[in-house]
Amino acid sequence: MDSLTQILLGGALAAAIAPPRHRRAALLAGAALGTLPDLDSLPIALLTDDPVALMTLHRGFSHSLFVLPLLGWLIWVFFRRRGGRVAESPKRWFWAIQLALLTHPLLDAFTVYGTQLLWPLPLRPVMWSSVFIIDPLYTVWLLAACVAAFFLRERPAAQRVLVAGLALSTAYLGWSLAAKAMVEREADRALAAMGLADAPRFSVPTPLNTLLWRVVAMTPDGYVEGFRSLVADAGPMAFQGHRSNTQAWAEAKDIPAARRLEWFNHGFMRAQVVDGELVLSDLRMGSEPDYFFSYAVARREGDDWQALRPPRQLALERDFGPMWQATWHRIWNEP
């Protein structure tokens, strides 16, 4: 999720757990802990200029459920030994620190990007993909709770608004999973009728909402893409087919960057040959024909593909105003 949401979630949790007399300090401490895992981008950027590495190493070690509990314990031990608030109420502060850290990667896993919850195990990143990376209807409850608690300080009402904010934001995540299940049920029926019952697929909400969803399923020569509005659509879900250069992808599959991308995005990629270069696009983020993450990873030399070192990320030139207008219109109108 976006940094603001992670800051608010960490702050709200820590303030709800810490003693009332420590509430303002807990809001600030939780905010810092809530954003700490995303600082992994800084050392990664210092170590490499490879854009594929930058993408696929993010949400790795700093988001691991093996690493963060140990980090939380070390932070707790350090501040307890220094005295002050943590030493006054060590049990509450232990759980405030732990939950402010651990909820960060768990919330990230609800997006489609991919979070390596079990790093260093070589498992594919987790992507429950039930919320967009920015979703105001999730964040607004946490924002209201943190602002109210900051001004209410030690009053009992502060605890109530924090619990309410956390409950409402969590309920919204529950709704997103229910909405995803409804969309996937319709997608399964439509894809089975097309002979794609066993095709690898994913579903993801469109930007800033959980009412309009996008479903992509892979085919032998490319992929199909369909949209489903939970408000406007009725009847079978419609899909449109798109081609991918599967031959070029098969020939270059041993290129390190291509292999890394395939692992990271679960194989949901479009392959194109553009000016003699193999361009791989992550189908999970964006929509046809524009995708946020596209990389030139190899160049054709004779009958072989030679790796580009480093790979090159292609810029996405897209006007997001019309895109959001089209999304808003599609939510309320069946095509």
pLDDT in tens, 91-109: 999 999 999 999 999 999 9
Q: What pLDDT score does 284 carry?
A: 97
Task: Answer whether residue 321 shows pLDDT above 90.
Answer: no
Of 37-51, 85-99, 107-121, 192-206, where does mean pLDDT reach its minimum?
Answer: 37-51
Other CB atoms within 10 Å distance of the CB of residue 148: 17
Tell the burial category of 162 from Cβ atoms under 10 Å away from its Cβ (0-12, 13-18, 19+): buried
| Count of domains for the chain | 2
Residue 322: what pLDDT?
A: 80
Domain end point (choices 128, 157, 177): 128
Structural domain range at position 99: 3-128
Three-state SS at 97: helix
- pLDDT attached to residue 279: 97
* Cα 274 to Cα 309: distance, rounded to the nearest angstrom: 17
Helices H / strands E in the chain, number of each: 12, 10
The answer to whether residue 214 is domain-embedded is no
| φ and ψ of 36, to 5 deg | -55, -45
In a domain, 210, yes or no: no
Q: Is residue 79 domain-resident?
A: yes
CB 203 within 8 A of CB 184: yes
**What order do you get walking across the sheet with 269-274 strand by strand?**
269-274, 277-282, 294-301, 304-313
In a domain, 109, yes or no: yes
- Whole-Å CA distances, 149 to 7, 11, 85, 205: 15, 10, 18, 31
* 157 domain-assigned: no
Task: Choose the final residue of a domain: 128, 148, 164.
Answer: 128
SS3 of 84, please? coil
pLDDT at 238 over 80: yes
Contact 21, 6 (CB under 8 A): no
Task: Choose among 122, 117, 97: nearest CA to 105.
Answer: 117
In a domain, 104, yes or no: yes
Give me Rg for the CA atoms of the chain: 22
Mean of the per-residue pLDDT values of the chain: 96
The model carries a pTM of 0.94
Does any domain span residue 213? Answer: no
φ and ψ at residue 53, rounded to 5 degrees: -65, -40
